[in-house]
Amino acid sequence: MTEQKSLKEAGYYHLIWSEEEMRKMHSLMKKMDKDEVYFVSMSARSKYLGPEERKTLDLGSAEMFNRKLVKEDSFDQMNRVIHGLQVSEMAYLSRGGTPIPLHCLVVYWCINTKDSRKALKMFMENSIDALFGTSLAKGLDSVLMNCYHQANGKASLIDIDFDVPKEAGLDLLKQCISEMKDKNVEYHVVETKSGYHLLLKRDTLKFNYVEVVNKYDKKAKELFGNKAEVIKNKNEMIPLPGTFQAGFPVKFIQV
């Protein structure tokens, strides 16, 4: 954490704490088809700010910004893209013109590929609207990234999001994993600031896993209240292991 502090004092965001953890994520990535890419995004989460900070900063649309594509299978390519997010604090500004605090920043990684042809088709439709309609043509760079975000490729991983109390919810996660093990499911667990992501290898799911997820979602609500949930993460974006999530070192854990 001292390295993170020193870089921030120097005026740069330090987002990476472990390239080894990033390599673990890379090892789970399927080889890209010729038109596929991986998608990564910076996000500023207002829930990690205090009440006064929310008023002062006015994050606005900073929920997702500085989106990038990883276009090659190598770890070096992935590593370069993530390192490229570590920029001067003057690059990430709130609508009020002040630097976005490091303690609310998250690097989100899409666990499955995006399809460039699907993205291009959506982009062309939006471009025509910009050319002949009322959309602003100068915003097309953002539109292209919106299209990539929506253009899902072939899924190799399923993400089950355990949004539960960290310590008390761990036992529930272990129960679910025990059931997955009995069914010979290959899995990996990512610990985040507010819970866990259970990554399941799709081709090892030979049963109706949705019923299992729904069962544990019901248990979570019974144990921890209606704000707790265990759900399939449909947008497939998770805090990237090896980076800081609002100051928390996101990592793989053995469960």
Q: Is the pLDDT of residue 12 over 90?
A: no
The per-residue pLDDT for range 190-249, each reduced to its tens digit, is 999 989 999 999 999 999 999 999 999 999 999 999 999 999 999 999 999 999 999 999
Distance between CA atoms of 212 and 176, rounded to whole angstroms? 8
Q: Residue 66: beta bridge partners? A: none
Distance CA 92, CA 99 (A): 6
The tokens describing 14, both together, are 């330090």
Q: Are 146 and 61 in contact (CB under 8 A)?
A: no
pLDDT at residue 170, rounded to an integer: 96
pTM: 0.90
Pairing of strands 251-253, 187-191: antiparallel
Which fold would CATH assign to domain 157-235?
Answer: Alpha-Beta Plaits (3.30.70)
Query: Where do we find the tokens 């019901």?
Result: 218
Amino acid at 130: A
Q: Could you tell me the two tokens for 106?
A: 């998250």
pLDDT in the model for residue 2: 45
| Contact (Cβ atoms closer than 8 angstroms) between residue 42 and residue 66 | yes
**Separation between Cα atoms, residue 194 and residue 166, nearest integer Å:** 7
At 132-191, the pLDDT tens digits run 766 666 778 888 999 999 999 999 999 999 999 999 999 999 999 999 999 999 999 999
At 127, is the pLDDT very low, low, confident or very high (cuts 50, 70, 90)? confident
Helix (H) or strand (E) holding 127: helix 116-132
- Per-residue model confidence as pLDDT tens digits over 68-113: 999 999 999 999 999 999 999 888 888 778 888 899 999 999 999 9
Domain range annotation of the chain? 2-150, 157-235
